[in-house]
């Protein structure tokens, strides 16, 4: 299984092990565009893996802060109470870069930048860049994706419709 996130198309596509497309979702990536530097507010490019899946039993629209459920469920009223929050809802797929110097280690480390695929309020637009670097999805879509993939699933983040080359199915090793 593999995920390809196309920054130009603002889409996320899931492929099976034979390279056949299974699902396609609209997403919202960084308002600041692509980039790897810590503090940039950009979505990192290149090869990643799902390092951790968080929130398996959480209700739809459950609120997370610091990767922990707060016990809250997003509502318009809650949003009015906390207008400054960048809402991370429903599920989290925490990404880790696989390319040292590009998206792994040092000032370009995707995991240390806390880059996730996560749910966002359903009143937020999809298909347009609006995030602070993460990949936002509709709540039900991120729950569906969460159920489809495992930790260790490859995630390629690309800038155009060009699909990255298929590589070996070997799982990347971590330090």
| DSSP-derived secondary structure for 45-113 | PEEEEEEEEE-TTPPTTEEEETTEEEEEE--HHHHHH-TT---EEEEEEEEEE-SBTTTBSGGG-TTTT
User: Confidence class of residue 162 from pLDDT cuts 50, 70 and 90?
Assistant: low
Say which CATH topology domain 2-158 has.
Answer: L,D-transpeptidase catalytic domain-like (2.40.440)
Q: Which two tokens stand for residue 63?
A: 């609120």
Q: Tell me what pLDDT residue 166 has.
A: 52
Residue 175 in this model has a pLDDT that exceeds 60: no
Going by pLDDT thresholds of 50, 70 and 90, the confidence category of residue 172 is very low
pLDDT at 103: 98
Among residues 61, 92, 97, which one has the least CA distance to residue 78?
A: 61
Domains of the chain by residue range: 2-158
Angle formed at CA 101 by CA 32 and CA 92, multiple of 5 degrees: 55
Residues 6+ apart with CB under 8 A from 87: 63, 74, 79, 120, 121
Whose tokens are 């309020």? That residue is 121
pLDDT in tens, 4-58: 999 999 999 999 999 999 999 999 999 999 999 999 999 999 999 999 999 999 9
Encoding tokens for residue 5? Answer: 């996130």
Q: Say what the pTM is.
A: 0.91
Residues facing residue 155 across a β-bridge: 3, 48
Asked whether the beta carbons of 31 and 129 are under 8 A apart, the reply is yes
Calculate the alpha carbon distances from 128 to 13, 117, 131, 159 in Å: 16, 15, 9, 14
């Amino acid at each position: 299984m593999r995920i390809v996130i196309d920054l130009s198309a603002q889409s996320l596509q899931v492929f099976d092990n034979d390279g056949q497309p299974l699902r396609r979702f609209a997403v919202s990536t960084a308002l600041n565009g692509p980039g790897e530097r810590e503090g940039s507010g950009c979505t990192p490019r290149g090869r990643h893996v799902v390092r951790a899946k968080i929130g398996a039993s959480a209700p739809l629209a459950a609120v997370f802060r610091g990767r922990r459920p707060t016990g809250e469920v997003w509502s318009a009223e809650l949003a009015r109470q906390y207008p400054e929050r960048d809402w991370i809802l429903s599920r989290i797929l925490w990404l880790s870069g696989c390319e040292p110097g590009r998206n792994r280690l040092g000032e370009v480390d995707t995991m240390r930048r806390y880059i996730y695929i996560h749910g966002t309020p359903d009143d937020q637009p999809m298909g347009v860049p609006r995030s602070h670097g993460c990949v936002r999805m509709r709540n039900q879509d991120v729950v569906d994706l969460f159920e489809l993939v495992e930790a260790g699933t490859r995630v390629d983040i690309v800038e155009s419709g060009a699909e990255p080359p298929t590589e070996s199915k070997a799982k990347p090793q971590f330090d």
